[in-house]
Amino acid sequence: MQLTTLDWTIILAFLAISLLVGLWTARKASGSYAEYFLSGRSMPWWLLGVSMVATTFSADTPNLVTDFVRNDGVGGNWRWWAFLLTGMLTVFVYARLWRRSGVQTDLEFYELRYSGKAAAFLRGFRSLYLGVFANCLIMATVILAAMKIGGVFGFNRVESALVASGITVVYSSLGGLRGVILTDFLQFIIAMIGSVWAAYVVVNHPEIGGIHALMSHPNVQSHLNILPDLTDKNVWVPLLLIPLAVQWWSVWYPGAEPGGGGYIAQRMLSAKDERNAIGATLFFNIAHYAMRPWPWILIALASLIIFPDLTALGDAFPQMAGKVIKDDLAYPAMLRLLPAGLVGLVLASLASAFMSTISTHLNWGASYVVNDFYKRFLNPGLSSKGEVLVGRITTIILMVMAIIVAFYLENAMQGFDILLKIGAGTGLIFLLRWFW
């Protein structure tokens, strides 16, 4: 499918606005570490809450939800819905504690809470393990989604990766967290308009026939249950019991860290005060779990009619490499049903999702490298402007590394499972570190 002039105009206008925001905030962000990585600790709850939701609304998230729905039905989403439990615990217990701590990053808390060489080692190790290794894997899954979306519209994988990443690394390295949060606000609005509108058009497409025809179609009916099949323990144990009983408190996962952490903690530390930190995390959890995924679920269900299996997807996209023909490709494949103009808006919305996630992870990862490794162990006397410079260089390096890793991944669920394995068994430590 070829993009029209109208589609390109919408996409380029959005990219230009995002870049201008980064340029506009660049001077203020250059002042100090607190400005570049914490927005001067002056952000209101509504901006921070939207930024959290925008970050977790990445380009790969619709693909991942589609993967879950096509393989395990709507109930397959309990793999991540279970994280709501730790999210609400963060709202009512940990948000105020993070803001009250006054640390620059959540890793700095280790040496505030504990002491000695063990605390210093843990801080330094996790700054590289999470800020570089895990972070690049997270960004790689998002870049993989951009490659698949680009492939649907005729771009090769290299072109998709470079175009999607170029603007993002420029404005995020220039504008710091303030630029990231402000563009997140714009990007989330565009992303939600695009996804809701796309779902409406897809469901009412002649090949689908409306919501009633969708729900009664034989390809779809077996995928509609909110809960997994409770008569088959091979289904409900991994999809429902393990996530609700164990996974939510035992696993570190970006955006759903037990007790808060990562870029969620970064947003709480950037809040004006404790009340704004609580308000931001509460808004995030409501929007993230209850509001945002349903347009994607509808499109995923509709894809079972148009592309009932992987063979149908492969036949539709013979130009794409065989290993990327997975169920997560169905979401961008369904965008071919959209009319000109709306395609541009939806692609702009997916670009919004991509950029909001990548920009946050670049800034967050760089904050770990600068504050918890480089300044802590290699250059303790580093000036404020030096911190910003090292942060900008780190941002570019992380982007390059993530692009390279993306070429070794195949589908969104693969990245999701790897991340769960990376964070397995550590969650309870994060919940209890405030108390022992």
pLDDT in tens, the chain (436 residues): 567 788 888 888 877 887 777 677 666 656 667 777 888 888 999 999 999 998 887 777 888 899 999 999 999 999 899 999 999 999 999 999 999 998 989 999 999 899 899 999 999 999 999 899 989 988 888 888 888 777 777 777 777 777 777 777 876 777 777 878 888 888 788 888 888 999 999 999 999 999 999 999 999 999 999 988 888 888 888 888 888 888 888 888 777 888 888 889 989 999 999 999 999 999 999 999 988 899 999 999 999 999 999 888 888 887 776 666 888 889 988 988 888 778 888 888 777 778 878 888 898 999 999 999 999 999 998 888 888 889 889 999 999 999 998 888 877 777 778 877 888 888 888 888 888 7
Tokens of 25: 């905030």
Answer whether 288's CB lies under 8 Å from 87's CB: yes
Q: What is the pLDDT of residue 1?
A: 57
What's residue 181's pLDDT? 85
Q: How far apart are CA 245 and CA 202, in angstroms?
A: 36
- Which residues, including other chains, have CB under 8 Å from residue 149's CB and lie 6 or more apart? 59, 160, 332, 335, 347, 350
* Predicted pLDDT at 322: 62
The pLDDT, as a whole number, for residue 29 is 59
Letter string b/e over residues 135-145, b meaning 16 or more CB atoms within 10 A of that residue's CB? bbbbbbbbbbb
Which pLDDT does position 350 carry in this prediction? 77
Residue indicated by tokens 């999607």: 164
Query: What is the rounded distance in angstroms from the CA atom of residue 19 to the CA atom of residue 225?
Result: 43
pLDDT of residue 75: 92
What pLDDT is attached to residue 377? 94
Specify the pLDDT at position 288: 92
Q: Catalogue all structural domains in the chain, each as residue range(s) with its CATH number.
A: 5-432 (1.20.1730.10)
Q: How far apart are CA 321 and CA 323, in angstroms?
A: 6
Inter-CA distances, 66 with 43, 143, 242, 254, Å: 34, 17, 21, 19
pLDDT value for 238: 87
